[in-house]
Amino acid sequence: MDAFNYFLDLILPRLCQSCKNKLNIDEKVVCTSCLLKIKYADEERIYHEFERKFKDDKIISGFTSCFVFEKEKEFQEIIHQLKYNGKFYVGVFLGKFMAGELKHILLDWGIDWIVPVPLHHLKRAERGYNQSEFIAKGIKVITGIPVKKNILKRVRFTETQTTFNLQERKLNMEGAFSLKRKTNLEGKTILLLDDVITTGATISECGRVLLDAGAEKVYAASVAVAD
C-alpha cells in the first residue's frame, strides 16, 4: 500500500493545505512543519477563555479547544481552505486531530451527542455546506460519539459581529437559534462544536436553547479559540 501511495504522490502530489508544499508519504492534509508552527491552546489559556466567555452565564459547563487562532498564520490558511474552498476533508482531518488531542476530556464529560453549530439557511446555501459538520465527523471517527446535526437551526440572519464587543455580540445573538424539530433532550449531555470560537456569544445562545429544551448539560469545543 505504501508503494501504491508513493506512486500516486508522484503523478498527483498531495499538497499541504497551509504552505502548499508537497506532503511526505506519511503526512496527511497538513505537513508536520506547519502543524508544529500552530500555537496550541494550553490549560491556562482554556481556563482563561472559559472564565471570560462562559462562566458568568452558567450555560456552558465546560470548554476546550485545540489551537489558538492567529491572523495571517498557518491555521488561518487551513481553516480558509475548509470554509471557502470546499476542502471537506480538511474538516475531517481537523476533527480527528482535535479528538486525538482532547479525547480524554470529551470522554470524561460523558457526551451523548455532538451538535455542530448551525449556519443560517442563506449562509449555508451560499457556502453549500456547514464546515463544523465535517469537523464533527472527524471527532466521531475517533471517539464514536454520535453527531446530531438536525437539532438546532439558525432562525435569524445576524449582522456581522466583527466590530461588536462581547455584550453587543450577546445582544445580537438573542433569539438567533431554535430547535429544528421536536427532540427528547431530557438527561442528554451535549457537546456544541464550532470551528473557531471568538466571544462565545453564538455558543452560549445555542446552549441556552438546548438547556431550555431539557438538556442536562451543555459543553463546548472548537478547533481553535480567538481573542
Q: What is the pLDDT of residues 87-130, one digit of tens each?
A: 999 999 999 999 999 999 999 999 999 999 999 888 888 889 99
Closest CA to 126 of 86, 81, 90: 86
Say if residue 184's pLDDT is above 70. Answer: yes
CB 153 within 8 A of CB 205: no
Residues forming beta bridges with residue 225, ordered by sequence position: 68, 197
Rounded Cα gap, residues 60 and 49, in angstroms? 12
Q: What is the pLDDT of residues 39-94, one digit of tens each?
A: 999 999 999 999 999 999 999 999 999 999 999 999 999 999 999 999 999 999 99
Q: Are 74 and 18 in contact (CB under 8 A)?
A: yes
Whole-number Å distance between alpha carbons of 71 and 154 = 27
Residue 140: CB partners within 8 Å, gap ≥ 6? 95, 114, 146, 147
Looking up cell 446530531 gives 148
What are the structural domain ranges in the chain? Answer: 1-37, 39-225
Confidence at 212, pLDDT banded by 50, 70, 90: very high
Strands (E), 118-176: 152-154
Percent of the chain surpassing pLDDT 70: 92
Lowest mean pLDDT among 122-131, 167-176, 177-186: 167-176
pLDDT band at 183 (very low <50, low <70, confident <90, very high): confident
DSSP 3-state of 9: helix
pTM for the full predicted model: 0.91
For 39-225, CATH number out of 1.20.58.340, 3.40.50.300, 3.40.50.2020, 3.40.50.740 equals: 3.40.50.2020
Q: Counting every residue, how long is the chain? A: 227
3-class SS of residue 120: strand
Rg (CA), the chain: 18
Residues forming beta bridges with residue 200, ordered by sequence position: none
> Mean of the pLDDT values across residues 142-150?
96
Average pLDDT of the chain is 91
d(CA 157, CA 123): 8
C-alpha span between 191 and 112 (Å, rounded): 8
Other C-beta atoms lying within 10 Å of the C-beta of residue 2: 8
**pLDDT tens-digit map of 2-16:** 554 544 555 678 999
